[in-house]
Amino acid sequence: MMLLTGREQEYLLHAILGAHGIAAPSDFFLWSQGPLQTLLPHDILMCAQLGAGGAVLRSEAWHSVVPDHAQLRERQGQLARLALAWRAGGQRAGVIDGALVHGSVGEGGGSFFALFATGTVDAARHAYALELLLPYLHVHWLALPGSQPGFPGGLGVTRAASARELEVLHWVREGKSNDEVGQILGISGATVKSHLQRIYKLLGVSNRTQAVSRGIALRLLGH
């Protein structure tokens, strides 16, 4: 698993906490050009809502400095191609044609984000950070006015988490190991691991950090 530096972890926490204050387009703009920009430097953030077949239903560009109109049109034209390449490549966070990309899709559609930067991009580290921030980008951008009606607001969660799963996730967020969580809840570490595996499957994640991040975004955990 990729490890963030202490400073990057501070930036990530600032971005996560700041995302919960997004209630309007102006809030999203300030967040994207503040906390998000600090963690993932970029010139243009392109956001797209995808339909069930992967087509771009709508898109929006966020930037603090007005780019050249020709450049902006070029980026908008790239968006559908990048989304297609991302889906074909296994829907993993990464750099495609110089853009840092990731998204979240389900049967009914989803979201896709592309960050364009002129500077050097640390592909692996930035992709990992974007993966952790994806739930916040997905939830808060699609909650802004303009989203197509009928879009599933969640992140592909197919059932409600059980009370025990939420307890386990809470203590994982507090930094407890499986054995420590087991001692607190009066169950074995192996049982805690089993609960975690079900949580990962439920939330569509692969590790503890991602589970906590997505749990907060879905309001399964307080903040």
Run of H or E including 38: helix 35-39
pLDDT digits (tens, 9 = 90+) for 92-136: 999 999 999 999 887 677 889 999 987 777 888 899 999 989 988
Report which of residues 40 and 108 the model is more confident about.
40
> Can 6-142 and 163-217 be said to share one CATH topology?
no
Beta-bridge partners for 112? 48, 103
- Write the pLDDT tens digit of every residue in 11-22: 988 998 888 888
CATH number, domain 163-217: 1.10.10.10
Nearest CA among 209, 177, 204 for reference residue 193: 177
pLDDT digit string (tens) for 172-221? Answer: 988 889 999 999 999 999 999 999 998 888 877 788 887 887 777 666 77
Query: Please, what is the average pLDDT of the chain?
Result: 83
With a cut of 80, say whether residue 154 has pLDDT above it: no
For the segment 132-146, the average pLDDT, to the nearest whole number, is: 83
* Alpha-carbon gap, residue 98 to 78, rounded angstroms: 11
Architecture per CATH, domain 6-142, reads as 2-Layer Sandwich (3.30)
pTM of this structure: 0.67
* In the chain, where the domains are located: 6-142, 163-217
Q: What is the DSSP string of 60-108?
A: EEE-SSPPPHHHHHHHHHHHHHHHHHHHHTTS--EEETTEEEEEEEETT
